Amino acid sequence: ASAQWFKQAFTYLNVDLGKEYLALLSSWIDKERLGRYESPNAALKKEHRPATLSTWQKKRFIESCEPNVSDDNFVVSLSGEVWRWWVSLQPAWRAIAPGTKPSYPPVIKTGMTNWKSLDKKGLNGWFGLLVCLKWWGMGLKYCPAEKRAELREDWLRAIGDISAMLNGLLTYYRASPK
């Protein structure tokens, strides 16, 4: 029964937005498998979470309540909100100034043990980040042509950074005594 949420979440996220997105999706699957597909109440910090995601979550993840990704300004707005939220979620050892984007790729050293701010599973964990990246990726084709390449590059950078941190968390899990 605990895996039912995961099946629905995976079905929702499983769209072909390119190899980078699919690699992140694969890492997320690994994380949830290691967490035995549980969906506890513990959540990623809500402060700075994109409003569109909060609204969609309050409506119980109903697809008909998704944001309009074809709106001209959607990706521009969402991308800024995703970066702001992502930066606010980082462990203290990453030391990213608010209002800036992290240097890429992140420097993850062996022995980094404080992953608490990112160590969340289930519907209230990394799923929300991936939902935002899905919407961002789907909305790119509707962006004005003169902004599309830059917004796609920013999306790929976000995927790269989020993937690197998720993989760092997975490495920490696997190295931790059981």
Q: Can you give the pLDDT at residue 111?
A: 67
Structural domains of the chain, count = 1
The Cα 101–Cα 110 span in angstroms is: 23
Cβ-based neighbours of 26, under 8 Å, separated by 6 or more: none
Average pLDDT over residues 90-117: 81
User: CA 176: distance to chain centroid?
Assistant: 23
Residue 23 · residue 165 · CB < 8 Å:
no
Q: Can you give the pLDDT at residue 119?
A: 92
Residue 139 · residue 19 · CB < 8 Å:
no
> For 59-63, 97-101, 143-147, 152-156, which range has the lowest pLDDT when averaged over its residues?
59-63
Residue 133 · residue 162 · CB < 8 Å:
yes
18-40: pLDDT as tens digits: 999 999 999 999 999 998 888 77
- Average pLDDT over the chain reads 89
pTM confidence score: 0.92
136-145: pLDDT as tens digits: 999 999 998 9
> What is the domain range of residue 143?
4-175
